Structures are given as structure tokens and as C-alpha cells.
Structure 1
Amino acid sequence: MPGRTQRKVIDPISSQPLADFKVGVDSVIFSVDTSQNRLLVLLVMRHQEPFVNYWGLPGTLVRQGESLENAAYRILAEKIRAKNLYLEQLYTFGGPHRDPREEANSFGIRYLSVSYFALVRFEDAELIADGVSGIAWYPVKEVPQLAFDHNEILAYGHRRLRNKLEYSPVAFEVLPEMFTLSDLYQLYTTVLGENFSDYSNFRAKLLKLGFLCDTGIKVSRGAGRPASLYRFDATAFAPFKDKPLVFI
């Protein structure tokens, strides 16, 4: 109506001062112990507050002039030696109150975590102690309460790994150069669970895709028939790269 004064609604968030951030990186490093069919994650014991004597993901705050990726590689170089360690950025966790230090400081500093993800070959990964106790591969199913929000970060990384197994050849990065189809199937069941697919359908689908090369070599394990050894053919896989391929 004419003459009526419009009342302005103020967003309470917009009236708050800008946040001051410190940025850290945390890495979810998975491996598969094929001998015991266990999916593992690399954990380190914290030796200072907050969360002293809690297990957590390998992480660090980013230094002046340092990229996020270099910070992630820096901290991992102190914990693990692995061939061709490839990190992929996972997600940024930045909810308020995710770090107890936010409550303790008087400047309102917030702590962000930019998380990274990797899958490494168990046999090639060497843990570095260097006089510091508290670094271990932990079965994902047995992970305790971790420091900060690292259980949430781990769960997010586990979902990413499961998704990558469906559309990418990441599984072949942790298998030996030559493997049986049973080896490949066991890796998938270790990560995805035993009910994701029956072996016959899995075998038929993978062979139909055409990027598994039969080496002509057979291996005997136990009392069953000798099994064929296969090799992943990266050239044959090239046409499928970056396409919505579903392995399972």
C-alpha cells in the first residue's frame, strides 16, 4: 500500500566479521592386504593436544608459501615410502567447531581441512618409524574413535574408493603385474563386500570389456584347476578413459 514503510530483514550471518582461517591437509591412505583380505587405512598416533594419544589421519598445517598438495606430500614423506604415490583431492571439511583449538583461541581462528585420498600397494609401502612410535595400518572395519572429525573424513574417502572401483582401473594399481581373475575378484569383495556380485557375472563382464590380457601362463593354487594369469592392458583401456564405465 502507498506510504507503507518496508522493513529490512537483516541476515544475522552477514553482520558477523569475516572468519580467519588456518588450513591443514589430512590424507586417507588406503591399502589392501590381499593375503588376509583386509582393507587398511594408514593412521598415526597424536603426541600433542588436542586429542593427545588418539589415532588420526596423517596431516599437517600448511606453511607459508607451500601448496596444499606439497603439504600433503611433505607429511606423508615422513610416514611412508611408497612407489608412485598418487594423491587425489577428496573434499574440504570446514564446519565450525571441528577443532577444539577454535574454542581456545581468542582471535576466532577457524581450522579447515583439505583432505586427500590414495590407494597404495601393500607390499610396496614401507612405514617410517624414525624413533617415533604410533604409525600403523589399521583395518577399516576396526578403526576406533579418531581425532577431530577424521572418522567422517575416512568414511568419505571410503565412499570415494568404492565409487572409483566401479568406473576406473584403480584396482590394477595395487595388484601384481600378473594376477588371476580370482585375485581381482577378491580385491573387489574386500573393498565392496562379499555380496556386490557373484564371481561368474564379474568374470564374464570384465573379460567382455577387453582390456584384460591373458598371458598364457597358468598357476596352481591348492587342489583346483590351474588358473590363468592376466595382465591389465592400459592401451586397450584407453578408449574407455573418462567415460561412465561400470566394472561391476
Structure 2
Amino acid sequence: VRFEEAKLNADGVSGIAWYPIDQVPELAFDHSQILEYGYRRLRNKLEYSPVAFDVLPDHFTLGELYQLYTTILGENFSDYSNFRSRLLKLGFLCDTGVKSSRGAGRPASLYRFDADAFAKVKDKPLVFI
């Protein structure tokens, strides 16, 4: 589910909010274990599957994609230029030809995930990062 599409259902419950993964308050029952398991699975799936594109908007900058990876995997997983060149070499990111004017500095190119191009290579061993 894309973040902007997720809705918090807080009918009659207080304290419902989004938290950074390292700041989640104490949870009831085995919910901390469930959260940790899901987080581990997400970290692992980022390395071999296109799961990142399920949470990004349809058109995104490489900076936004990099920010998603660093948020989940940690600041030191890769430098931006190596990350960028590795992902572009995989062949399933398409430059839309549109520039984003979000943020300061030079406008960034917007990309989209090409599911058809990915389908051709999905059965081959891939390393996304």
C-alpha cells in the first residue's frame, strides 16, 4: 500500500499514529515480533524484488527511490552514484522524459517501473542493490 493511500482507522482509540521504525512505542501481545518479522522481510525483499515500486508513486525520482532504500536499509548501504548506475543497468526503470520541480536545485528526471521489462528477467537471479 502506498503511504499516501494508507488510512489510519482510529475509531475510539487514542495513540494511533505513524512512527519511525526505531521509535515505535511498546506494543501489546506479540505485535513487536510481528512488526520485526515484517521489517526483516521487507529489508530482504528489497535486495531481490521490485517491492519498492509498490510503495512509490507511479512516477518518481531516483532520489526518492534512494531515500526509500536508505530509510529501510540504513544510511550506509550504498552511495547514490553506485545505487543509480546499478538500478539503471537492470533495464526496468524508464525515464518518462518529464522533470520534477520538487525541492531545490536542478529539476530531477522522473522514472517509472517497467513491469513488462522486469517480467522478462524476473526468473533470473537479480540483485537490486
In 1, the alpha carbon distance for the partners of 2:104 and 2:2 equals 28
- Residue 232 of structure 1 is matched in structure 2 by 113
More strand by share: 1
Cα displacement (A) at 1:244: 2.9
Supply the AA of the counterpart residue of 1:151: S
Secondary structure of 2:10 counterpart:
coil
- Residue 7 of structure 2 is matched in structure 1 by 126
Secondary structure of 1:131 counterpart:
coil
Q: How does 1:146-225 map to 2 (within 5 A)?
A: 146-225=27-106
| Residue 145 of structure 1, aligned match among 15, 18, 26 | 26
Matched, 1:241 2:87: no
Cα displacement (A) at 1:242: 4.2
Q: Deviations over 1:199-240 (max 9, x none)?
A: 000000111111001111112344422211101100000022
**Structure 2 portions without partners, runs of 5+:** none
Secondary structure of 1:225 counterpart:
coil
Cα displacement (A) at 1:135: 3.0
More helix by share: 2
Q: TM-score, normalised by structure 1?
A: 0.49
- Residue 58 of structure 1 is matched in structure 2 by none
Cα displacement (A) at 1:126: 1.2
Q: TM-score, normalised by structure 2?
A: 0.90
Cα displacement (A) at 1:147: 1.9
Label 1:129 to 1:153 Cα distance change in 2 as closer, same or farther (>3 A): closer
Bigger radius of gyration? 1
In 1, the alpha carbon distance for the partners of 2:126 and 2:60 equals 22
Higher relative contact order (CA 8 A, sep 6+): 2
**Structure 1 portions without partners, runs of 5+:** 1-119
What's the RMSD between the two structures over aligned residues? 1.6
